[in-house]
Structure 1
Amino acid sequence: MTVKRSAGLLVFRTSGGGPEVLIAHMGGPMWAKRDAGAWSVPKGEYEPGETAEAAARREFVEELGLPAPDGDKVPLGETRQANGKIVTVWAVEGDLDPAAVVPGTFTMEWPRGSGVEREFPEVDRVAWFTPEEAAHRLVAGQRVFLDRLEQYLRER
């Protein structure tokens, strides 16, 4: 069995009030009524031959419809999520307006078993949060990236 791998970019900004991170609420009917644990770092799967960093930049554009920030990428490492997928993330400092996001879409059968294919946004909203606010919203397996970002910010 091949392990699925994803890569993403955790965009952050700092202000007088401290750091904020940009995370995305997952789109589609399965996540529509959830908040806690229903947000993610913009990320996606990559294939052999594609570097994780290239996939992270590509997926940012595909999911948010905006170019990835050009700042220095801070490696936050990888983690294995509960579903077994290995996720690699870089932090990058930048600022963007969530209202400018034009999410990509995916198609799935909905309702399940109906035979009807419907299109849904990959993400249905994007917002800035403090790391503390983001922690309970993020998928549990990605919360480690907030800790690693905070450690980096303390040390820089």
Structure 2
Amino acid sequence: MPQKSAGLLIHRRTAGVFEFLLVHPGGPFWARKDEGAWTIPKGLIGDNEDELEAAKREAEEELGVTVDGDFRPLGSYKQPGGKIVIAWSVEADIDANAVRSNTFTMEWPPKSGTMKAFPEVDKAGWFSLPEAGVKILKGQRPMLDDFLERRSAE
């Protein structure tokens, strides 16, 4: 059974244009990657944890703020590695410069025996739809399309 994550596609309108909050993963693997490396705030769903509650918890851990609002289901998205990401959209205006993420520990450099802590998210940013389409991970791009499709149907 594939792993399941839950996350939030956070959006706002600036001068009538949608912008999306994406986060850049921390750690050495992602340090020099930009296009196709950003993601929605998301993470693994705990055993017996409600999926939406997991999405809210993960967003809080990765952003350092509680996200409140009208959470609308977007769908489930199979990632290239096989993981399933269940996403909701929510309108919120978060200060991307004030993001404070939790950390994870890994051996770095590899095979050194030295453990080092890295932020789970090293930065966040607001992006227009065209920019977000370039920045976001390939497996998450359909979230942007589904968001716009649902908005146009309202």
Listed as ranges, the matches of 1:1-156 within 5 Å are 2-68=1-67, 70-156=68-154
What is the CA distance between 1:17 and its match in structure 2? 4.4
What is the CA distance between 1:153 and its match in structure 2? 2.1
Deviations 1:14-39 (Å, cap 9, x if unpaired)? Answer: 13241000000111000010101110
Q: Distance in 2 between the 1:104 and 1:88 partners?
A: 21
What is the CA distance between 1:131 and its match in structure 2? 1.5
- Aligned residues, how many? 154
What is the CA distance between 1:115 and its match in structure 2? 1.1
Aligned-pair identity (%):
47
Pairwise CA RMSD:
1.0
Structure 1: gaps of 5 or more residues: none
Dislocated runs of 4+, deviation >6 Å? none
Q: Partner amino acid for 1:14?
A: R
Deviations 1:69-103 (Å, cap 9, x if unpaired)? Answer: x2111111011101110000000011011122111
- What TM-score, normalized to structure 1? 0.95
Q: Partner amino acid for 1:11?
A: I
